[in-house]
Amino acid sequence: MTRIFAGDGAAVPVTVIQAGPCPVTQVKTVETDGYNALQIALTEDKEKHVSKAMKGHFAKAGTGLYRELREIRLENAPEMEPGQELTVEMFATGDVVKVTAKSIGKGYQGRMRRWNFAGSKDTHGCEKVHRNNGSIGNNTFPGHVFKGRKMAGHWGNETVTEMGLVIVDVRPADNVILVKGSVPGPKNGLVLVRKQ
């Protein structure tokens, strides 16, 4: 993240996203695969890290070797061909997009940090239970803990989609777009940007 200054001098927080170029490695249609989709690639890779099957896949598409592949579902039949590239020029300043990524993993966390529980009182008569869960169910009936009960556990590392983000600037020379606000995931993480 960084910030840029608008025409009126206001500081606008933005996230810089490298958006391509993403070559099309496969075109799927209803006739051949049962649905319409484009398979795109990102992040070039060394030959020693690519399997023999994937080398053949990329050779058929006429592209280089890549590490990441993503499939974009389409309502209508795709108009692109394998080997063509998606670039930042498909976006424009002012477009509203949604960004999907894996959120930052926080590891195993207690119920207070994970679910914002208040905890027990910190006064007389309350001993060693300040951050405890409290009651998690009834007695003989139903005799088990209901699914969905908010308890301690793994937090983060989930697929998250941030909606309603506005593109502030598009820079084709650098293959980047500037999106107002923050996006899910760690620094240098992989994100999927789609128009809303």
pLDDT in tens, 72-126: 999 998 888 999 999 999 999 999 999 999 999 999 999 999 999 999 888 888 8
Residue-wise pLDDT for 130-162, tens only, equals 998 888 998 899 899 999 999 999 999 999 999
**What is the identity of the amino acid at 9?**
G
Asked whether residue 103 is domain-assigned, the answer is yes
User: What is the token pair recorded at 104?
Assistant: 């930052």
Among the listed residues 24, 42, 38, 28, the one whose alpha carbon sits nearest the alpha carbon of residue 84 = 24
Which CATH number is 47's domain given? 3.30.160.810
Whether this prediction's pTM lies above 0.85 is answered by: no
Asked whether residue 138 is domain-assigned, the answer is no
Asked whether residue 143 is domain-assigned, the answer is no
Round to whole Å and give the CA distance between 61 and 25.
Answer: 5
